[in-house]
Structure 1
Amino acid sequence: MFIAVVGVILLVAGIVVKNSPGAASRFGRTITTVGIAVFVLGLLLSAFTTISPGNVGVQTLFGKVQDQILPSGLHIINPLVEITDFNIQTQNYTMSAVHNEGDVAGDDAIRVLSSDGLEVTIDLSVLYKVTPSKAPYIYQNIGEDYNSKIVRPIARTAIRDNAVNYQAVDLYSTKREEFQNRINRTIADNFAKNGLEVQQILVRNISLPASVKASIESKINAEQEAQKMQFVLQKERQEAERKRVEAQGIADYQRIIATNLTDKQLQYESIRAQREIATSNNAKVIIMGNGKTPVILGDK
């Protein structure tokens, strides 16, 4: 449209020069012709627009927002229409206690009171996107700064309204997922009314007061010690059972031997033992017999 405006300026200048006295008037026709050509070229160029991928175009004609949006690609439009691009890709808005990690510099974490009156600090990320068909509504009723007007206040309010239903320790441990699901529903409902769509709510970190942290750590240490002691006791019981079974086996063996042992069996076992000793590399002299007629065996 800028080129068309330049063309109008040249056209007016040409008419003025043409009607002026003097030698310069002969250039008036040329300037007027150039002005008309530039104006027509500007109109033709303004009739074409390209919407980038991941965006939609919102049309405004003389201050009135049009309901029809322009998807990504090349379009032929009214040269007088103004186009505003809206990002419809997934966007991330983070509120964090870490400096320069969130969208707002400094400590931007959300501080809430739990049901037991303790202050809990929560870091949160909201993944969302603009609903394409609602882009004209957002542009007309909210504006392009929907992050600060909608995303931030709704997310922080949802966190505070839901945190009061939980104790601080529950938020930190057992009911963290339930808490995240509740705030997800609350934020999604409010976003939908304003043309935004929630993709995911991420509770990135929950910080408890130092006294509560110390209490939790003490409890965890006590539970670990109790589990360790249970393991030791179980191991001792198993060892005692093993020894009992071993003793019972020895007793049964001795009873069986005492009941069934004969002189011939003792003599056979004695011969076996002496034979093994005789074939051993360490055996030098072996005396066999009943003590009356000894037999000496050796390796030499």
Structure 2
Amino acid sequence: MDKLPKIGLPIIVILILVIVVLAKSAVTIDAGHAGVLYETLGDGVDPDKEPLGPGFHLIAPWNKVIDYETRQQQLFEEMRVLSSNGLEIQIDATAWYNPVTADIGKLHNQKGKDYLERIIQPAIRSAARSVVGRYTPEQLYSSKRDAIQEEIFQETEKIVKDQYIQLNNILIRDVTLPPTIKEAIERKLKQEQESLEYEFRLVTAQKEAEKVRIEAQGKADANRILSASLTDKILQDKGIEATLKLSESPNAKVVVVGSGDSGLPLILGNN
């Protein structure tokens, strides 16, 4: 009886040590994440070693795993930049990005987990300053927004190239101009719209007038051709034809043939 506690104590200690070792050695990586293995007794992170994927892993208890999210992430950025004429413009943008999973070891060694602040944010701000500085406030506010958005994306993509980061897209959510400039642009756009509307009505009226003129000219030309083709002989033949048709009507008439200045038949009475 006295020996059992002495034997049981070492077993309890060993079990506790095993539990501690297992707790230190067991690592679970969530879906959409990857782990970088840091070897404490080695050279740290091996950049060429494949990262740990989602699931359960066992590692040496003296090592540790640095977790990285590999899913697409988004950054909301508000920037104040200058237009081509020196006016301050506020740009609200959203960037979609994710680290390249296979290169997480290299990303960790060279940039660390705060790669967002070290690479992506400075790149977007630099690209926005460069691109917006080539445009006027009016272009930023209206016609060139899509082009500016694409240029900022391309400029940022060049900067983060070979940085083990994949930039998926950049969207311009809003462009805020100084109130006085915005009002002036809106007035100008309204005047241009009214001018375009007036020009449209003017062109429509001109086309309608041209249509009426062409129709009138066509009728005049038709009458002139018809008048030139109607000789006295044709008129007499047409008159005779009309008289014959009238004479065939059931209504009583008196037809005098050979009367009148033109020699055409005369129709007297309609009873």
Q: 1 CA distance for matches of 2:243 and 2:93? A: 85
Q: 1 CA distance for matches of 2:20 and 2:247? A: 121
2:7 aligned partner, one-letter code: R
Aligned to 2:167: 198
Q: What is the TM-score of this pair, normalised by structure 1?
A: 0.68
Matching residue within 51, 62, 65 for 1:80: 62
Moved over 6 A (4+): 285-288
2:31 aligned partner, one-letter code: P
Deviation at 1:86, TM superposition (A): 0.7
Matching residue within 132, 149, 161 for 1:180: 149
Q: Report whether the alignment pairs 1:37 with 2:19.
A: no
1:221 aligned partner, one-letter code: K
Question: Deviations along 1:148-203, whole A, 9 cap, x unmatched?
Answer: 44433332233224322332223334444443344334423443464322111222
1:77 aligned partner, one-letter code: I
Higher RCO structure (Cα 8 Å, ≥6 apart): 2
Aligned to 1:242: 211
Q: 2 CA distance for matches of 1:250 and 1:82? A: 97
Question: Deviations along 1:65-98, whole A, 9 cap, x unmatched?
Answer: 3213222344343233211221111110012xxx
Matching residue within 250, 260, 264 for 2:237: 264
1:264 aligned partner, one-letter code: D
Deviation at 1:129, TM superposition (A): 0.8
SS for the counterpart of 1:59 is strand
Deviation at 1:27, TM superposition (A): 1.6
Aligned to 2:101: 132
Q: Report whether the alignment pairs 1:50 with 2:23.
A: no
Structure 1 pair 70/288, CA: closer, same or farther in 2 (3 Å)?
A: farther
Deviation at 1:125, TM superposition (A): 0.8
2:239 aligned partner, one-letter code: L
Structure 1 pair 249/138, CA: closer, same or farther in 2 (3 Å)?
A: closer
Mapping of residues 91-170 of structure 1, within 5 Å = 91-95=73-77, 109-140=78-109, 142-170=111-139
Q: Where in structure 2 are there 5+ consecutive unaligned residues? A: 257-265
CA RMSD of aligned residues (A): 3.5
Q: Report whether the alignment pairs 1:215 with 2:184.
A: yes
Structure 1 pair 286/219, CA: closer, same or farther in 2 (3 Å)?
A: farther
Moved more, 78-87 or 133-142: 133-142
Q: 2 CA distance for matches of 1:273 and 1:172? A: 79
1:82 aligned partner, one-letter code: K
Contact persistence 2:28–2:55 (CA under 8 A): yes
Structure 1 pair 242/199, CA: closer, same or farther in 2 (3 Å)?
A: closer
Deviation at 1:210, TM superposition (A): 2.6
Contact persistence 1:112–1:160 (CA under 8 A): yes
Aligned residue pair count: 254
Deviation at 1:218, TM superposition (A): 2.9
Q: 2 CA distance for matches of 1:274 and 1:73? A: 110
Structure 1 pair 141/38, CA: closer, same or farther in 2 (3 Å)?
A: same
* Percent of aligned pairs sharing the same letter: 27
Q: Where in structure 1 are there 5+ consecutive unaligned residues? A: 1-22, 96-108, 280-284
SS for the counterpart of 1:295 is coil
Moved more, 75-84 or 135-144: 135-144
Q: 1 CA distance for matches of 2:226 and 2:246? A: 17
Q: What is the TM-score of this pair, normalised by structure 2?
A: 0.75
Q: 2 CA distance for matches of 1:288 and 1:117? A: 100
Structure 1 pair 181/65, CA: closer, same or farther in 2 (3 Å)?
A: farther
Structure 1 pair 114/25, CA: closer, same or farther in 2 (3 Å)?
A: farther
Question: Deviations along 1:105-129, whole A, 9 cap, x unmatched?
Answer: xxxx211111201111111111111
Q: 2 CA distance for matches of 1:270 and 1:215? A: 79
Aligned to 1:103: none
Q: Report whether the alignment pairs 1:60 with 2:38.
A: yes
1:262 aligned partner, one-letter code: L
2:10 aligned partner, one-letter code: T
Structure 1 pair 24/137, CA: closer, same or farther in 2 (3 Å)?
A: farther
Q: 2 CA distance for matches of 1:292 and 1:175? A: 82
